[in-house]
Amino acid sequence: MTDNTNAISLVDRRRFLKLAGVSSSGLILGATLPNFQPAWADIAGTAAKDKSAAPLNLFVSIAKDNTVSIVCHRSEMGQGIRTGLPQVVADELEADWDLVEVVQGLGDKRYGSQNTDGSRSIRNFYTTMRTMGASARTMLEQAAAQLWSVPVSECQARKHRVHHSASDRSASFGELAELAATQKVPAEDTLVLKTPSNFNYIGKPVATYDTPAIVQGKGVFGQDVILDDMLIASIERAPVLGSKVASVDDSAARKISGVVAIENMDGGIEPPLFHPLSGVAVIATNTWAAMKARKALDIQWTDTSHAGHNSAPFIETLKQRVKQPGKVVTKYGDVASSLADAANTHSATYSVPYLAHASMEPPSATAVVKDDHCEIWACVQVPQGTQQHVANALGLTPEQVKVNVTLLGGGFGRKSKPDFAVEAALLAKKMQRPVKVVWSREDDIRHDYYHAAAASHFEAAMDDGGQVTGWQQRTAFPTISGTFAKGAEHPSNGELSLGFADMPFDIPHRQCETAPAEYEARIGWLRSVSNIQNAFGVCSFADELAHLLKRKPDEFLLELMGEDRHIDPNQGDFEYGNHGASLKDFPLDTARLKQVLAATAAKADLSQKGDHAQKAGEGWGIAVHRSFLSYVGIATKVAVENGRVAIKEMHCVADVGLAVNPDRVESQMEGSMIFGMSLALMGEIGMEKGAVTNSNFHDYPLLRMQQSPKMSVTLLGTEHAPAGVGEPGVPPVAPSITNAIFAACGERIRDLPVNKHLQLA
């Protein structure tokens, strides 16, 4: 932890109330946080150099009526963060969870990073939240000591009261709140954190805070925001990157009742960053009128250099490129000689197509602009990024933009890009009325920031004894850096840190390389990012070698991982990201990876199953992967009958360190398995002439209930510090499926999705 993390201080109450919208009085604490880097900076390799501490604050307040308000400054998108972070504070505070109110933090840089991405909300804020809770608890105990004129060491907070057992007195937190607010804030080194055996909530399956509202349809998402006098906008956007409106005939659209205005949206900017796309917005009194009128627009678009982009030949081109020598990232030993001298070699090339996020809630934002002030309500993962980009578009400062974060109907990385909030702000300014921009499903599928189409190539050298002596891997995909800077053609170190250059096998001669790929469509990070293609390649190729050498894949994998050790992938110009954490605090620990592998194999009882083929037409596949500082193994059983494949079982073993809320960790792993099945079995965005050919769930299908198999989740390693949860379950899913398909029927699927090769049962 950095020095400035826990400078807890009393906070000016009016400022707090203004910031958090809490109506209470009593004790309020703030904590200074270090200035975390936004994830896109990590990945794009453009991290800001300014490490000076942003002064700022997380808050807990205790009202006289006993209500404890805890601010959640991160966005809730289904991962349960509005439960997880507050339950940590509540535990150290000795608060009664039933008296806790969760307040969603506004966008404000004084909170430190609010970018809800990179699977890092818990791992980056766990200790801070504990310290905050402990500080407040200590001040309540000090207040009680003063009230009763007894030593503070004799006062103990327990379940929302402070007790003095010697005199059998106690007082509620609410009764003590005002006096507590006058206490000196304890120095961090004097704080006594609870021992884990005394935890009331940490490590317990506390029920999700928002569930009662959600099951009654009362949760407010971005699409649900309604303001007085509000107009609705539906925007027809340029189908190809860089294209602009050339001409528009809106005469038919204007005749539709309810239409108030039709406005051109400037755009076509490259690099695209988070700028709105060029388009024509229909602004109407209701959503249906806006959508209907939009269909009546006749728009001509300007030509762009991306209009020749076709995804299928593009992927073939990438597959050819990765077979040629590329740019060396890291190099150990002499892989060329090992291949030349090998008794046996094997090579394979894999591909993953473009993928869309397809969160159930299409993006939506509502804005009001008055003079030099803008207020936004939006389902964004990046409230401060939203402030910044809206401010840039309107010519305001970020402080003049107030961002209210609604619930997010899924995010998966799409809502880290606030382009839709900028659209709302620009239109609200033009209309001088509140405007809600409603993205349709077609808008969402066609104008995403896509997961990059990717190709990877592997070559292995083996000796007479069946030992792998050389391993060459090469990858090519349009980099996320291209979203921020023109001309980037090779993956960044950040992207190569996601399961590529940190590949865990102990092979004497190995080399990682990249090949170039053109940036032809908006590219962004999708749940687990490049780990998707990297784990698919690495875990597939290792499985291929196992079968070639007639070894049981799980045993072979254990052997490839070698001795228990900590890997440091840094070499030369390659700086290993380690998901923003130090290798000292979070080593790349093969012992943990091997434990997860062994536990995954045991869960599927693979020791009884030879080469994993169980009987004709059925097979098991296994894959393990470390990402976001967590270690996850997946074992999958498939059945292939008459060319149709069905997933029968899937088991997940995850070492995510301490699970603050094990139920939410399990639910994230369940969701990761289903997310992984969707992308592996049926996920593919196609592009022709630069435009996306998919449009809705009929041609960009997601897994449905009847395709969802029996599944289990096992958590290991809870003695370690908390690590990432939201994303690390996804990467091993696809290779576990294709490995199982090979075991079942001998067909090796190297190009996702599976349904290009086999029908889905």
Partner 1 sequence: MELTINGKVHQVDVDDDTPLLWALRDELKMTGTKFGCGAGLCGACTIHINGNPARACLTPITAAKGAKITTIEGLSDTGDHPLQQAWVKHNVPQCGYCQSGQLMSAAALLANNPNPSEKDIDSAMSGNLCRCGTYPRIKAAIQDAVQYYNAGEQQEKQGGE
Q: Does 672 bind partner 1 (CB under 8 A)?
A: yes
Binding to partner 1 by residue 560, rule CB under 8 A?
A: no
From the CB of 745, what's the least distance to partner 1, in Å?
Answer: 25
Q: Is 633 in the site for partner 1 (CB under 8 A)?
A: no
Which residue in 1, 187, 340, 360 binds partner 1 (CB under 8 A)? 360
Residue 210 found at the interface with partner 1 (CB under 8 A): yes
Number of residues that bind partner 1 (CB under 8 A): 67
As measured in angstroms, the least distance from the Cβ of 284 to partner 1 is 10
Q: Which of residues 258-317 bind partner 1 (CB under 8 A)?
A: 258, 286-289, 291-292
* Burial state string for 378-401 with b = 16 or more CB within 10 A and e = fewer than 16: bbbbbbbbbbbbbbbbbebebebb
| Closer residue to partner 1, CB minimum distance, 359 or 479 | 359
Using the CB atoms, write b or e for 636-654: b if 16+ within 10 Å.
bbbbbeeeebebbbbbbbb
Residue 272 or 362 with smaller CB distance to partner 1 = 362
Rule CB under 8 A: say whether 212 interacts with partner 1: yes
227 sits near partner 1 (criterion: CB under 8 A): no
Angle between helices 733-745 and 531-548 (to 10 degrees): 30
Among residues 31, 139, 232, 329, the one that binds partner 1 under rule CB under 8 A: 232
Q: The tokens of 492 are what?
A: 């960044």
Contact 695, 445 (CB under 8 A): yes
**Least gap, CB of 636 to partner 1 (angstroms):** 15
Kindly state the smallest distance separating residue 701's Cβ from partner 1, in Å. Answer: 9
Per CB under 8 A, the list member of 37, 146, 344, 696 interacting with partner 1 is: 696
Cβ(119)–Cβ(726) under 8 Å?
Answer: yes
Helices 419-431 and 383-394: crossing angle in degrees, nearest 10, is: 40
Which residue lies nearer to partner 1 by CB, 540 or 667?
667
Q: Hey, what are 363's tokens? A: 């993006």
Residue whose CB is less far from partner 1, 422 or 438: 438
Kindly state whether residue 115 participates in binding partner 1, applying the rule CB under 8 A.
no
Q: Of 442 and 518, which CB lies nearer to partner 1 in the complex structure?
A: 442
Q: Which of 16, 173, 314, 412 binds partner 1 (CB under 8 A)?
A: 412
Return the number of the residue (129 or 408) whose C-beta is nearest partner 1.
Answer: 408
- What is the distance between the alpha carbons of residues 508 and 510, in angstroms, rounded to a whole number? 6
Nearer to partner 1, 316 or 663 (CB): 663
574 in Cβ contact with 493 (< 8 Å): yes
Least CB distance from residue 246 to partner 1, whole Å?
Answer: 28
3-state secondary structure of 604: coil
Q: Does 215 bind partner 1 (CB under 8 A)?
A: yes
Q: How far apart, in whole angstroms, are the C-alpha atoms of residue 736 and residue 248?
A: 50
**Within 433-472, which residues bind partner 1 (CB under 8 A)?**
438, 440-442
* Cα–Cα dist 8/52, whole Å: 18
Beta strands 298-301; 245-249: pairing state: antiparallel
Least separation, in Å, of the C-beta of 735 and partner 1? 18
CB of 669 to partner 1, least distance (A): 9
Is residue 220 at the binding interface for partner 1, with CB under 8 A as the rule? yes
> Is 207 among the residues that bind partner 1 (CB under 8 A)?
yes
Stretch that binds partner 1, among 222-230, 396-404, 497-505, 582-590 (CB under 8 A): 222-230
For residue 667 the two structure tokens come to 């639910």
Which pairs with CB-CB distance under 8 Å and at least 24 residues apart come from 262-267?
Answer: 262/293, 262/297, 263/427, 263/430, 265/235, 265/237, 265/423, 265/426, 267/237, 267/238
First to last CA, the chain: 50
Radius of gyration of the chain (CA): 27
- Where does this chain touch partner 1 (CB under 8 A) — which range of 78-86, 393-401, 475-483, 607-615? 78-86
Q: Which of 1, 166, 192, 226 binds partner 1 (CB under 8 A)?
A: 226
Give residue for tokens 């009763």. Answer: 148
- Of 61, 82, 67, the closest CA to residue 13 belongs to 61
Q: Does 663 bind partner 1 (CB under 8 A)?
A: yes
The answer to whether 420 and 363 are in contact (CB under 8 A) is yes
Q: Which of 239, 267, 276, 362 binds partner 1 (CB under 8 A)?
A: 362
Among 517, 703, 740, 758, binds partner 1 (CB under 8 A): 703
- Contact flag: residue 409 with partner 1 (CB under 8 A): yes
Distance between CA atoms of 401 and 365, rounded to whole angstroms?
Answer: 14
- Residue 143 or residue 635: which is nearer to partner 1 going by CB? 635
Structure tokens at 743: 């075991």
Which of 198, 697, 756, 759 is in the footprint of partner 1 by CB under 8 A? Answer: 697
Min separation Cβ 460 and partner 1, Å = 34
**77 with 116: CB under 8 angstroms?**
yes
Residues in the chain: 761
Tell me which of 148, 199, 221, 332 binds partner 1, using CB under 8 A: 221
CA distance 403 to 380: 9
Shortest reach from residue 384's CB to partner 1, in Å: 21
- Name the minimum Å distance from CB 660 to partner 1: 15
Nearer to partner 1, 451 or 552 (CB): 451
What string of DSSP letters covers 252-272? HHHTSTTEEEEEEEP---SS-
Find the part of the chain contacting partner 1 (CB under 8 A) among 272-280, 302-310, 704-712, 737-745. Answer: 704-712
Buried b (16+ CB within 10 A) or exposed e, 77-108: bbbbbbbbbbbbbbbbbbbbbebbebbbbbbb
SS3 420: helix
C-alpha closest to that of 62 among 83, 31, 89, 32: 89
At residue 285, φ and ψ (nearest 5 deg) are -75, -15
673 within 8 A of 733, measured Cβ to Cβ: yes
**Residues in 568-607 at the binding interface with partner 1, rule: CB under 8 A:** none
The answer to whether residue 706 forms part of the interface with partner 1 (CB under 8 A) is yes
Please identify which residue in the block is written with the tokens 């969870």. Answer: 97
Q: Which stretches of the chain bind partner 1, using CB under 8 A?
A: 76-80, 205, 207-208, 210-212, 214-221, 223-224, 226, 232, 257-258, 286-289, 291-292, 358-362, 407-412, 438, 440-442, 663-664, 667-668, 670-675, 678, 696-698, 702-706, 708, 711
